Amino acid sequence: MRRRSLIALVACAAMIVAAGCTLTPDLSRETLEARYLNAPEDMRAVAGTRLHIRDTGPREARAVVMIHGVASSLHTWEGWAQALDDDFRVIRFDLPGSGLSPPDPTGDYTDARSIDLLSGLMDDLGVERAAIIGNSLGGRIAWRFAVAHPGRVERLVLVSPDGFASPPFEYGKAADIPPVFDVMKIVLPRFALRSNLEIAYADPARLDDATLDRYHDLLRAPGGRGALLDRFRQTILVDPEPRLAGITVPVLLLWGEEDGMIPIANAADYERSLPDATLVRLPDLGHVPQEEAPAMSIGPVRAFLAMP
């Protein structure tokens, strides 16, 4: 989610606090892991923190690494992972302070730290080179990783990627996130979360109760809401154009035509800047096509990854 939806969520929370409604406590790690952790070995120590990962598919196959967006988790990729892991080694992970990954002990939630963690995770898993897929914030981390480590990226799939400045984010400076936003640490109404998640869907009816429950649960992981706010406060955008121009691997831009968070008009910025990019427009889908309609959106990704 971008700041627009975060503002709405915090505003709702503030009104509920003012009305004296029930607070929303954290859920214990034991409770969350019982619900969402497949196996204990999916929690791995990487570069001084612990990451929740899923690593499926043949180990000798070409690797695909998937990076989720803000306030999301590796579960957003479930449909795509199931569609790909017969033929690819599919690696997903929760960014620190998201999903089941605990907050980073360093307190560092910058893109540079995320890039180092991705590199460290690939080293730990014995993956020298991979196709990188990223959605929203994950898209920004994906292309910045390709800039920092060009030899480790085979190709890129950017799903409604973040990166170009828009209010209140400016290049070279952190956005001002007022202290009132910290109310989210103690109040997280389920109905308010639903209204914010629906912005990411072209058809809100596709947001089922199980998906909403998962988001609500994982946002209540110990320290997770504070980490989310820290990530926003530490976000400093860099001008993408000169950096994108240096990415020579093939890039698939995948964008929902009904994206209400990062409009498809923004795709023109990436098309103009990337030397080898193909835009695929997804009719009747929004900001998270991999979650909203995985079967409808996976086709162009599979075809792109299968290219020699």
Please report, for residues 9, 54, 212, the alpha-carbon distance to residue 162 in angstroms, rounded to integers and kept in the order given.
Answer: 20, 24, 23
CA distance 273 to 95: 27
- Distance (Å, rounded) from C-alpha 88 to C-alpha 97? 27
pLDDT of the residue at 2: 46
Structural domains in the chain plus CATH codes: 3-306 (3.40.50.1820)
User: What is the distance between the alpha carbons of residues 263 and 135, in angstroms, rounded to a whole number?
Assistant: 13
Q: Please tell me the distance from the alpha carbon of residue 121 to that of residue 90, in angstroms, as a whole number.
A: 13
Q: What would the mean pLDDT of 109-130 be, rounded to a whole number?
A: 98
Q: Spell out the residues 6+ positions from residue 15 whose beta carbon is closer than 8 angstroms to its own.
A: none
Residue range 82-106: mean pLDDT, rounded: 98
Q: What's this model's pTM, rounded to 2 decimal places? A: 0.94
Burial bucket for residue 242 (CB in 10 Å: 0-12, 13-18, 19+): exposed
Q: Which of 5-14, 94-103, 166-175 has the lowest mean pLDDT?
A: 5-14
Q: pLDDT grade, residue 21 (50/70/90)?
A: low
Q: Is the model more confident about 170 or about 40? A: 40
Over the stretch 256-283, which tens digit does the pLDDT of each residue have? 999 999 999 999 999 999 999 999 999 9
Amino acid letter at 113?
Answer: R
* Amino acid, single-letter form, for residue 293: A
Rounded distance, CA 195 to CA 128, Å? 41
Whole-angstrom Cα distance, residue 43 to residue 123? 16
pLDDT tens digits, one per residue of 218-242? 999 999 999 999 999 999 999 999 9
- Count of residues in the chain: 308
- Distance, in Å, from the CA atom of 241 to the CA atom of 245, rounded to the nearest integer, reads 6
- On the CB side of 136, CA atoms within 13 Å amount to 23
DSSP annotation of 146: H
Asked if residue 15 has pLDDT above 90, the reply is no
List the one residue out of 53, 34, 32 whose CA is nearest residue 42.
Answer: 53
Is 56 in a helix, a strand, or coil?
strand
Q: Which tokens in the block code for residue 246?
A: 């240096």
